[in-house]
Structure 1
Amino acid sequence: MDSLHHPEAKRALRLKLRRKRFELSKQEQRQAARRLCQQLKHLPEIQRARRISLYLPVNGEIDPTPLLSWFRQRNVDVYLPVLRPLSDNSLWFVAYHANTPMVKNRFGIPEPDTRFAAQRRNRLPAWALDTLIVPLVGFDAQANRMGMGGGFYDRSLAFMRRPGPAPALIGVAHAFQQVESLPVEPWDVPLSAVVSDLGVVRAGKKKS
């Protein structure tokens, strides 16, 4: 799929896949979220994590938040991505609880409000997490990820392209977001796996 190296082709594919997400009914979204979370609970990268980040879904993204109560039962610390102010579009990860003060960022996405000192004290860089559950727009059979195009995760996780300890990266999506193949860009940070409502795709392996 060499044509996806062209920005216009990538943009068209993003729009197509996002449109398909929007077309899901609320019931279809709930069913997909339930099936996704059942798949995630069986992943070793999820089971062994003590510090994990996920995201609050927007624009039809598959919803990982049904896992929150399961994480709390297991005494797992949960974090959310927060846009770093005055930075080059990178992320902090801030502790998230039921009573965490929230604010909408410039994209309209709720995130912990770091104007509160307590929230600033509860932030971590990505390298301090065990596992990150990350959204995506498209993926292929080798667990290559197409994001929104802003590069927030790639910038925040650039350290993972160098040797050293690193968190596990788990992409999540609706199964219909899988495409034939995606080009790998030099700045892409590889995922450990992509989990959908219908299965798990491991990096370099076929769907199971």
Structure 2
Amino acid sequence: MTDGGRSKAELRAERLAARDAIPPVERVEKSLTIASHGEAAIHFDAGAIVSGFLPIRSEVDPRPLMAHLRDRSARLCVPVILDKRTIVFRELIRGAELVPGTFGTFGPGPEAAELDPDVMLMPLSAFDAAGHRIGYGGGYYDRAIHRLHQKGRRPKLIGIAFDCQEVASVPFEPHDIRLDAILTESGYRPFEHPGQA
């Protein structure tokens, strides 16, 4: 698997096309397998705040995993886009109404509490074996993580993806924040990052 020096945009388009090509039934089965791996591997303190996401397009469906984490006392939240630069994480309460958002998303309305996650389950378009990720190009998660770091918080960053989204090498800058782990249908893979704050 080589990336041939391709740009993030090229890798993103290629890996999203591969993800889109997974038949819907197979996508459901893989998502359930991912949830099973995550249930065994993701550890947190009682009452920890875990941000998940409500899937759009061909994303992994993390809702079975999120339900399990809630049953283990996690307090769940999901990202909501406020403007062209900002996402916040609003509490996801069972039975609460979800309102339409940007890019075909749904999420809790403005009355929901805004929370700072301790663990972040993050969608992505591509990743590599060193824990580098390519998002969707908007930089929303990067800015949200930076804001959390400025507040002295260091959430555990867990990418959620299918195996077909792995690439040999993601182009990265020194300031890029790497994932702590990746969770795919093959299992949970932690990454070692000497020196990363």
Q: TM class by shorter-chain length?
A: 0.7 to 0.9
3-state DSSP of counterpart to 2:8: helix
Alignment partner, residue 5 of structure 2: 3
Summarize the Cα distance change of 1:47–1:36 in structure 2 as closer, same or farther, 3 Å threshold: farther
Q: Distance in 2 between matches of 1:150 and 1:77?
A: 26
The TM-score with structure 2 as length reference comes to: 0.86
Conservation of the 8 A alpha-carbon contact between 2:49 and 2:75: yes
1:1-208 paired onto structure 2 within 5 Å: 1=3, 3-4=5-6, 9-46=7-44, 50-85=48-83, 89-114=85-110, 118-119=111-112, 122-124=113-115, 128-159=116-147, 164-204=152-192
Identity of paired residues, percent? 28
1:24-82, Cα deviation, whole Å (9 max, x unpaired): 12210111111111111122445766210100111211111112332332222110101
3-state DSSP of counterpart to 1:35: helix
Instruction: Compare 140-149 and 21-30 and name the one that shifted more.
Output: 21-30
RMSD of aligned C-alpha atoms? 2.3
> Where do 5+ consecutive residues of structure 2 fail to align?
none
3-state DSSP of counterpart to 1:34: helix
3-state DSSP of counterpart to 1:42: helix
Residue identity opposite 1:104 in structure 2: P
Instruction: Compare 48-57 and 172-181 and name the one that shifted more.
Output: 48-57
More helix by share: 1
3-state DSSP of counterpart to 2:55: coil
Residue identity opposite 2:90 in structure 1: V
Count of matched residue positions in the alignment of Structure 1 and Structure 2: 191
CA deviation after TM superposition for structure 1 residue 149, in Å: 0.7
